[in-house]
Amino acid sequence: MPIMHHTQLSEDHLAGNGGLGRYVLLPGDPARAALLAAQLHRVERVENPRGHTAYLGRLGVGPGVDVLVTHSGMGTGSTEVILHELLEVGARRVLRVGSCGAMVEGVRPGGVVIVTGAVRDEATTSHYAPPGFPALAAPDCVAAMTEGARRAGLAEHTWRGLCHTKASLWAREFGHGPNGAANLDYKHWLARCGVIASEMEAAAIFVMCHTRRPAPVAPVAGGSRAVHAQGGAVLAVYADATSDMELSPAVIDQANQRAAAVALHGLVAWAEADGVG
């Protein structure tokens, strides 16, 4: 397998964890990627002309878990390019560690959302699956991240639920532009349906992982270790539904730190369920 054009990654970079491959942490923001990479040991950097630096390292003590961290960029279009190349060279466990805005009052800024599924309000995933196909996080990942929130002592600041993946930030989420009123009505409709957060990448990760090589039908007694791709998402809650991007740096920092803690503890739990480490 040649080196991928945009990421400059190969199968050798993704190798690890007894053949399962490295667990991939895929934030949208390069600064958040660096924050996560700082928690790894024996880190190796892989640079590329597009600026999507990849960090290869190990998480945890003892045998540890082989991890790769890189950033996807903003939106499902950029995420599709990076994730496709990661899947091509062997990624089988992918976790978005991103940010979101809350869509319901119960989810508080500074906290964390573990995403169970995403509304596909974007165009990218329509090239992978028909409109009615659900964008769902891998159940094993949701369970692991839930355990991660408990291990991190953040269960009271973490929520689970559906998110809204959008292609437009300003118009769709905040009602800017000539169709603003209709966009806000749509967002409120989703909130009344129980969608708790809005972000811009999760649906692509869920659909692309699920459709990469669909898992064979098997009873749950078989365990969770399998070579098919699984995707999930943990989101830092930056603001409530009315912020219009007027954000508090202190709240952003708190949310990022908490999301990173849930993700890293959850990744260890995910690896344990897979029999890694």
The amino acid sitting at 184 is L
How far is C-alpha 188 from the chain's CA centre?
24
Global model pTM greater than 0.85: yes
d(CA 1, CA 100): 36
d(CA 206, CA 123): 14
d(CA 70, CA 36): 9
The pair of structure tokens assigned to 240 is 């409530």
Spans of all domains in the chain: 11-212+227-274
Question: What's the distance, Cα to Cα, between the start and end of the chain in Å?
Answer: 27
CATH class given for the domain over 11-212+227-274: alpha beta
- In this prediction, residue 60 carries a pLDDT of 85
The amino acid sitting at 3 is I
Per-residue pLDDT of the chain (277 residues; tens, 9 = 90+): 689 999 999 999 999 999 999 999 999 999 999 999 999 999 999 999 999 999 999 998 778 999 999 999 999 999 999 999 999 999 999 999 999 999 999 999 999 999 999 999 999 999 999 999 999 999 999 999 999 999 999 999 999 999 999 999 999 999 999 999 999 999 999 999 999 999 999 999 999 999 997 777 777 776 655 678 999 999 999 999 889 999 999 999 999 999 999 999 999 999 999 999 7
- In this prediction, residue 224 carries a pLDDT of 58
Cβ(78)–Cβ(72) below 8 Å? yes
- In this prediction, residue 221 carries a pLDDT of 73
d(CA 15, CA 5): 18
- In this prediction, residue 240 carries a pLDDT of 93
